[in-house]
Structure formats: structure tokens, C-alpha cells
Structure 1
Amino acid sequence: MVDASDIPELPRALRLPEPVIVVGMVAWLVATITVWISGWGGDRTLAVCLVGLAVGVLGTTIVLVQRSAVRRGDRTAQQGLD
């Protein structure tokens, strides 16, 4: 049986949420521009792309709020964010 203390911690570069958020938002931005310029897929497709961008903005906001809570030393802050 593997003890939890035997499992090494992931490197910091693999734990960062920023690269995932940025790549996702850039992908949604490219998709939104492509759909908007070409008209491919119609209004519903454009709406889905805009919602994807909104989710990226929401995710970024949550990460920034949690990071500021960690810096302030809030007891309710998410653990593991530097």
C-alpha cells in the first residue's frame, strides 16, 4: 500500500492554473472571431463562443480573488495557491 507521504509533490509549473486559463481563453477568442467573421454556424455558435469567453473571465476572476485571499491570510482562502 502506498503511503501519502511517499507520493512526490507535482512541480510548481504543473500546478499553475494560469497557462490553462490563458490557452482556453485564446482558443475561445480565436473561435469567436472566426465564427463572427465567417458567419459559420449562425447565432447559436457565436453565443456558445461568447459564453466560453465569459467562463474564462469568470475563472480568471476566481483565481485572482483566491490569490488575494491567500496573500491577506484569510482562513477561508483556498490552500496551495502561492
Structure 2
Amino acid sequence: MAKTALRPSPPPLEANDVAIVGGGTVLWFVGFLVLIPFKGSLEQHGHGSWPWICLTGAGLGLIGLWYCRARRDAIRRSRTSPVEGAGESATEGPATRLD
């Protein structure tokens, strides 16, 4: 049985992290708003913490948005800044001679 040649892995895809985290944050906040009118009924059935869990998810989503935006901006800055070391690129690292 012949082995097939291995192909190199494709580069990773970039996702719009800010939009994804922002969408999740909005959904957590909408869940909070939907559950608030039913707070009394939820408490009677032992689920009174559900609205607060949703609000916590929205708050953590805001922290996630801050982080994703900072990460996105740092990646953009690193792509546009000139390379400082001779023979070094932003994606490859230091050049190595293999003699």
C-alpha cells in the first residue's frame, strides 16, 4: 500500500471575534431582560438566580469585548509596524542559517 504525500496545513482562519463576542453579550442581556418579569415565579420554583446568571454573562461579555478589541488592535499594529531586527519578519521570527 502506497503512502500519500502529506500536504502542509493551511494557515488558520481569522474570525471576527468582536462580532462573535458582541453577539453573545447581547444574547445574555436579552435573556436577562426576558427573565426579569418572571423573577417571582422563578424564585418560587427555585430558579431565582437565572436572571442574575444572564446579567453576569453580559458583564463577562463586556470584558470579553474589551479583550477582543485590544487583541485585534494589537494584531493590526504588529502587521503595520516595520520589522525591527535585520533578517527577521513579523511572522517567521529570527532568521536561522542552516549550513
Same fold (TM over 0.5): yes
- With 21-30 and 64-73 compared, the bigger mean Cα shift is at 64-73
| Cα displacement string for residues 24-63 of structure 1 (whole angstroms, at most 9, x for unaligned residues) | 1122022101111222533411211110001100000111
Whole-Å Cα distance in 1 between the matches of residues 33 and 60 of structure 2?
A: 17
User: Residue in 1 aligned with 2:9?
Assistant: 7
Show structure 1 runs of 5+ residues with no match: 74-79
Q: Is the 8 A contact 2:18 2:69 kept in 1?
A: no
Matches of residues 24-35 of structure 1 in structure 2 within 5 Å? Answer: 24-35=24-35
Aligned pair count reads 72
User: Residue in 2 aligned with 1:41?
Assistant: 42
Whole-Å Cα distance in 2 between the matches of residues 10 and 66 of structure 1?
A: 16
Alignment RMSD, CA only? Answer: 3.0
* 1:57–1:71 CA distance, 2 compared to 1 (3 A): same
* Alignment-mate amino acid for residue 21 of structure 2: I
User: Residue in 1 aligned with 2:20?
Assistant: 20
Show structure 2 runs of 5+ residues with no match: 79-90, 92-99
Report the TM-score, using the length of structure 1 for normalisation. Answer: 0.63
Aligned with 1:41: secondary structure?
A: helix
Q: Which has the higher helix share?
A: 1
Q: Percentage identity across aligned positions?
A: 20
- Which has the larger Rg? 2
1:65 correspondence with 2:70: yes
- With 55-64 and 35-44 compared, the bigger mean Cα shift is at 35-44
